[in-house]
Amino acid sequence: MIQSMTGYGKSTVEMPDKRINVEIKSLNSKALDLSARIAPPYREKEMEIRSEIARALERGKVDFSLWIEKKEGAELATPIDQAMVKAYYDRIREISSATGIPEPEDWFGTILRLPDVLAKNEMQELTDEEWAVAHQAVSQAIEALVDFRRQEGAALEKKFREKIANISALLSEVEPYEQERVGKIKERITETLEKTLSVDYDQNRLEQELIYYIEKLDINEEKQRLANHLHYFLETLEGGHGQGKKLGFIAQEMGREINTLGSKSNHAEMQKIVVRMKDELEQIKEQVLNVMKESDARIPRISPPVLPDISACASGYHGPQAAISPSLTP
């Protein structure tokens, strides 16, 4: 089954004092374009998260978010330093008494804006138990997105089969007009000759020219090739994951055959059928862009050739390299 590059997944896990939320979205893209927003306690695991996403999704413009929600009754996000508040309060009152400056009406509003009153939380070290819970949420969100992609892929496959069946049906509608077209071409040429030429002409020669002209307008090869492309498109669909690029190439070839049919049709009804074929094919081309293509990671890496060590020549090596470069020998 093919996969779409469009998907969405979300997961939430509960801890005693917090709720961990993971959301991941993907759209179509030529390569993997990953944007990650991760809560500070889990940023040390960012590379591990990115690697897991890359293995599972392969391609697409991916937006990943991991954030925390504190539960009611949990420790305040930003505690207030009570000793610092009292020190500022006493100092401001002393300065007011000494200088005659009036005391502020809003004591809390004034003091809370002063430095070091709002104490920063110390960064807690991420424990293995908490990361195991968070990683579970990440894995669930990725799995949900992959399932979404499969569902979208199934819908795309159904749409492709419907459009291919429509083009095949339109191709069969061309046949009744082929013989009619030949008769009309012969009749039109004969009438033109009778109107423009007052002398008799060789009927055999006319038949030869008609046969030559009609052979140039023959569309049997185009029909056969288009039928083969339609069949190959369905075969490729059944090939499963990573067929997007191949499907795009097949759609291009189908477009060439349909265009040739249109240029050779020389018949109004056949032209209408060709226009309908192009409309169906255009819808296929639009959706093929959203099908997963073969991942670059699936292409085997070829190691560079190992060059012979020239220093071996200096140690008495008399193999092919020494024969090629005798001047390197001592």
- Torsion angle of the four alpha carbons 51, 52, 53, 59, in this order, in degrees rounded to the nearest 10: 70
293-304: average pLDDT: 38
The dihedrals phi and psi of 62, each to the nearest 5 degrees, come to: -110, 135
Predicted confidence at residue 201, as pLDDT, reads: 64
Question: What domains can you pick out in the chain, each with its CATH number?
Answer: 7-74+130-149 (3.30.230), 78-120 (no CATH), 152-294 (no CATH)
Predicted confidence at residue 242, as pLDDT, reads: 60
Residue 264: exposure state from Cβ atoms within 10 A (0-12, 13-18, ≥19): middle
pTM for the full model? 0.63
pLDDT tens digits, one per residue of 234-257:
988 887 656 778 888 999 999 999
